[in-house]
Amino acid sequence: MADLNILYESILSGKLEPAVAITVEAIEEGLDPQIIINDFMIKAMEEIGARFECGKAYVPNLLMSARAMKGSLDLLKPLLKGDTSSSMGKVVIGTVKGDLHDIGKNIVASMLEGCGFEVINLGVDVTSEQFVEAVKVHNADIICMSALLTTTMIYMKEVVEAIEAAGLKNKVKIMIGGAPVSQSFALKIGATGFSDNANSAVQKAKELMAAN
């Protein structure tokens, strides 16, 4: 019988191979994918996020855990098709136009996916038009914008304005993050939320979905 506690520990410690092996075993035994994801995989990601928040884990730990989580999740996704309860919400994420920094954004994307969100990662140097189009195509619940430079963070306002102009402001929540970004800046440009690290981004996304 597959010991899903090993899966939890493998994701928590960032060990891809044992995480994948126990997931394969669980699938072969016909265990419920939702239980595997919700009770073990997401809980492991939440724990590594909590450890990161209080300084007991670091960026490499987050990345390794996210990698292990993704390896297991990729095996389970085909079993979840058509199951709308499998996703906490759809998130479109990208680094704004003019900015090519993606490490922080990718960590947030991995953490969101690891905690049950469906993530559409648009990459870097993303224009307002691309954000708007992605929201429409994917029927997204949340937009996450990242910027690492003071010169590029001002473009976030253009994206918010484009979302409003497209008539989507009441349909999608807008989160922003990145080194120069603050809560006051988020309020100033009309963003719905702000986070300064990957773990708080997940918590904020959950709060925004719960408020829907």
The verdict on 53 and 104 lying in the same domain is no
The verdict on 53 and 120 lying in the same domain is no
Are 148 and 180 contacting, i.e. CB atoms less than 8 angstroms apart? yes
The verdict on 194 and 116 lying in the same domain is yes
CATH number, domain containing residue 34: 1.10.1240.10
- Asked whether the predicted pLDDT for residue 85 surpasses 60, the reply is no
pTM: 0.76
175-205 pLDDT, tens digit each:
999 989 999 999 999 999 999 888 889 889 9
Lowest mean pLDDT of 14-28, 58-72, 78-92, 143-157, name the range: 78-92
What is the number of H-type helices and E-type strands within the chain?
Answer: 11, 5
For the chain, the average pLDDT equals: 91
Of 85, 118, 153, the residue that ends a domain is 85
The verdict on 92 and 79 lying in the same domain is no
Give residue 76's domain range: 4-85
Distance separating alpha carbons of residues 182 and 203, to the nearest angstrom = 17
The verdict on 132 and 183 lying in the same domain is yes
Q: Over 24-87, what HEC string results? A: HHHHHCCCCHHHHHHHHHHHHHHHHHHHHHCCCCCHHHHHHHHHHHHHHHHHHHHHHCCCHHHC
- Asked whether the predicted pLDDT for residue 115 surpasses 90, the reply is no
The verdict on 146 and 81 lying in the same domain is no
- Asked whether the predicted pLDDT for residue 61 surpasses 70, the reply is yes
The verdict on 134 and 56 lying in the same domain is no
